[in-house]
């Protein structure tokens, strides 16, 4: 029997009519807005990977180098679930627009920075804006489009990351050699403005649930996550800080259970399906999503150019899109448990293939491995996002979607940190690559094992099919 997503605690996703009423032209406008938002998020990450060494040389203060990335990552990760909850309380458009303006302001300030400390602070402001922006493309897409169309939209979002991986290194080099490094940040300004202008023409009819903001819960959550994420940065007493962070998060959970309007409703985590989907997202991204930071490095050791080594990542983008586009229809046909397990199997296959990368392997085989990983993440990410919305109530859809983003971001941060430690502690580069690829393969097996419980209990109900028919 076909397994279907069902009504979670609080009711099922009510389809496109739940958030917006729009003409075809308005849908195109808002889609343009959210796609541009994804583009600036992707570009801002990938362009700095290749240009920050030159920026640090110009500004001085190399001891702050890692913090230019960490400050952005920490604040964008912390704000994601809070932004989702704020959207459920106050509406998507309002919070998204504020995030765009904050990101724009942070980008302006980054381009004006005259020291590395200043750049770290301004990157934190960018991160706040990103935390308020990046959860919304899938949330708004969930309001705008029926289930069978959402996979196609997710594929467009994913394409932005692929485009940025290919174009950003070229643009970064071009800015460094011509206009100057400050334009690496200022290029975000016109894109933000265009996104904002397209957004203003759209009339949201989402009816927020009257409630107050849980400021204490937000503070506890932010403090806990920040301390946990500091484990991924070179700071004194990282283990102690991480332990304190976990303790604060435990207090946060106990506190939230007693709140009438919690920042993260515990009903979501009591939902068996949402709980397992969130765990799957965390483990899969901990396992192998961070490998994209090391595969180009591996190929550069093989003698390939920066551009060629980055282009190999397009294999991952291609695989991702192949599975993303039909994902919505596959959910209706096969049920999400089977798809998530299939994605986990593909993840294991990709992890095992990674362990075959050796000196002299070549770019073609490496691109094939990344293609398999793209197939895996295309299923896991797209199905996870869609179902996190379908299994939550209308006023919990934003925070449910944001929890997926949070789990992926934290998983990626932890995975990249572990991989980096394994690589840099090795006696020679290829030994380091073998270690980190082996780690990814091992954790991918754990991901598969933890996805199997989803098959034990068929997801009852016909909510997904009913939504499609509406």
The three-state (H, E, C) secondary structure of 314-345, written as one string: HHHHHHHHHHHCCHHHHHHHHCHHHHHHHHHH
DSSP lists the bridge partners of residue 204 as: 20
Buried b / exposed e over 232-267, threshold 16 CB at 10 Å, is bbeeeeeeebbebbeebbeebbebbeeeebbbbbeb
Nearest CA-CA partner of 302 in 352, 373, 365, 355: 365
pLDDT at position 107 is 92
DSSP lists the bridge partners of residue 105 as: none
Buried b / exposed e over 399-424, threshold 16 CB at 10 Å, is bbbbbbbbbbbbbbbbbbbbbbebbe
pLDDT at position 283 is 92
pLDDT at position 4 is 38
325-339 residue pLDDT tens:
787 778 888 888 889
Interacting residues of 434 by C-beta distance below 8 A, sequence separation 6+: 355, 358
CATH architecture of 12-205: Up-down Bundle (1.20)
pLDDT at position 146 is 73
**12-205 against 267-453: fold identical:** yes
Q: How far apart are the C-alpha atoms of 339 and 336, rounded to whole Å?
A: 5
Q: How far apart are the C-alpha atoms of 469 and 38, rounded to whole Å?
A: 30
Nearest CA-CA partner of 383 in 148, 93, 214: 148
Angle at 430 between CA 426 and CA 431, to 5 degrees: 40
Interacting residues of 139 by C-beta distance below 8 A, sequence separation 6+: 84, 87, 92, 389, 397, 398, 401, 402
pLDDT at position 264 is 73
**Do the Cβ atoms of 344 and 451 come closer than 8 Å?**
yes
pLDDT at position 461 is 38
Residue ranges covered by each domain of the chain: 12-205, 214-262, 267-453
100-131 residue pLDDT tens:
999 999 999 998 988 888 898 999 999 899 88
Nearest 5°: phi and psi at 412?
-60, -45
Q: How far apart are the C-alpha atoms of 47 and 59, rounded to whole Å?
A: 18
C-alpha distances out from residue 463 to 5, 146, 301, 331, 335, Å: 6, 12, 51, 12, 11
**Do the Cβ atoms of 197 and 36 come closer than 8 Å?**
no
Q: How far apart are the C-alpha atoms of 387 and 427, rounded to whole Å?
A: 44
pLDDT at position 170 is 72
Q: How far apart are the C-alpha atoms of 233 and 228, rounded to whole Å?
A: 10
Three-class SS of 16-45: HHHCECCCHHHHHHHHHHHHHHHHHHHHHH
Q: What is the DSSP letter of 62?
A: G
**Cα 274 to the center of its chain, rounded Å:** 17
Q: What share of the chain is helix, strand, coil (3-state, %, to 5)?
A: 80, 0, 20
* CATH 3.40.50.920, applies to 267-453: no
Q: What is the pLDDT along the chain (470 residues), one digit of tens a residue?
A: 333 333 333 344 544 444 445 567 777 788 888 888 888 877 777 677 667 777 887 888 777 777 777 788 888 888 877 877 777 777 778 888 899 999 999 999 998 988 888 898 999 999 899 888 888 787 777 777 776 676 677 777 767 776 776 677 677 777 877 888 888 888 889 989 998 888 877 676 656 565 666 778 888 888 888 888 887 777 777 788 889 988 998 898 888 777 777 777 777 777 778 888 888 889 999 898 878 778 887 887 888 876 677 678 778 878 887 887 787 778 888 888 889 999 999 999 999 999 999 888 888 899 899 999 989 988 898 888 888 877 777 667 777 777 887 888 888 888 887 888 888 888 888 888 999 999 999 999 999 998 888 777 544 333 444 344 33
Nearest CA-CA partner of 200 in 333, 294, 94: 94
- The model's pTM: 0.72
Q: How far apart are the C-alpha atoms of 88 and 213, rounded to whole Å?
A: 11
pLDDT at position 437 is 92
Interacting residues of 12 by C-beta distance below 8 A, sequence separation 6+: 5, 6, 390, 391, 393, 461, 463, 464, 467
* Residue carrying structure tokens 């979607």: 401
Residue 437: how many CA atoms within 13 Å on its side-chain side? Answer: 24
Residue 76: how many CA atoms within 13 Å on its side-chain side? Answer: 30
């Amino acid at each position: 029997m076909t397994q279907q997503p069902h009504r979670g605690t609080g009711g099922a996703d009510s389809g496109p009519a739940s958030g917006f009423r729009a003409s075809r032209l308005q849908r195109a406008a808002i889609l343009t807005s959210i796609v541009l938002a994804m583009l600036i998020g992707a570009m801002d990450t990938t362009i700095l990977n290749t240009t920050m060494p030159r920026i640090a040389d110009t500004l001085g203060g190399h001891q702050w180098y890692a913090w230019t990335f960490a400050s952005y990552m920490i604040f964008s990760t912390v704000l994601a679930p809070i932004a989702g909850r704020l959207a459920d309380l106050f509406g998507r458009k309002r919070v998204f627009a504020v995030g765009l303006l904050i990101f724009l302001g942070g980008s302006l300030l980054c381009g004006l920075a005259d020291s590395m400390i200043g750049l770290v602070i301004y990157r934190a402001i960018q991160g706040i804006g990103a935390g308020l922006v990046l959860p919304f493309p899938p949330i708004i897409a969930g309001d705008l489009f029926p289930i069978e169309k959402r996979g196609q939209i997710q594929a467009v979002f994913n394409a932005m990351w692929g485009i940025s991986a290919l174009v950003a290194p070229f643009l970064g080099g071009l800015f460094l050699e011509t206009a100057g490094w400050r334009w690496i940040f200022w290029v975000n300004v016109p894109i933000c403005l265009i996104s904002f202008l397209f957004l203003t023409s759209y009339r949201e009819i989402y009816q927020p649930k009257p409630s107050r903001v849980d400021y204490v819960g937000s503070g506890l959550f932010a403090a806990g996550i920040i301390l946990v994420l500091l484990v991924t940065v070179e700071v004194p007493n990282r283990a102690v800080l991480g332990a304190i962070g976990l303790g604060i998060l435990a207090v946060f959970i106990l506190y939230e259970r007693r709140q009438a309007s919690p920042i993260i409703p515990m009903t979501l985590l009591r939902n068996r399906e949402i709980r397992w989907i969130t765990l799957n997202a965390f483990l899969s991204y901990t396992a192998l999503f961070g490998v994209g930071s090391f595969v180009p490095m591996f190929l550069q050791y093989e003698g390939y150019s920066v551009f060629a080594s980055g282009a190999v990542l397009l294999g991952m983008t291609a695989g991702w899109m192949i599975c993303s586009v039909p994902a919505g229809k596959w959910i209706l046909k096969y049920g999400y448990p089977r798809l998530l397990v299939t994605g986990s199997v593909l993840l294991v296959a990709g992890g095992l293939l990674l362990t075959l990368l050796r000196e002299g392997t070549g770019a073609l085989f490496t691109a094939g491995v990344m293609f398999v990983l793209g197939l895996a993440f295309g299923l896991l990410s797209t199905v996870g996002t869609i179902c996190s919305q379908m299994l939550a109530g209308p006023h919990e859809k934003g925070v449910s979607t944001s929890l997926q983003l949070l789990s992926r971001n934290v998983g990626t941060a932890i995975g990249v940190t572990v991989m980096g430690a394994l690589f840099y502690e090795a006696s020679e580069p290829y030994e380091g690559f073998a270690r980190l690829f082996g780690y990814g393969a091992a954790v991918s097996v754990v991901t598969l094992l933890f996805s199997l419980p989803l098959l034990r209990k068929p997801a009852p109900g016909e909510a997904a099919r009913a939504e499609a028919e509406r």
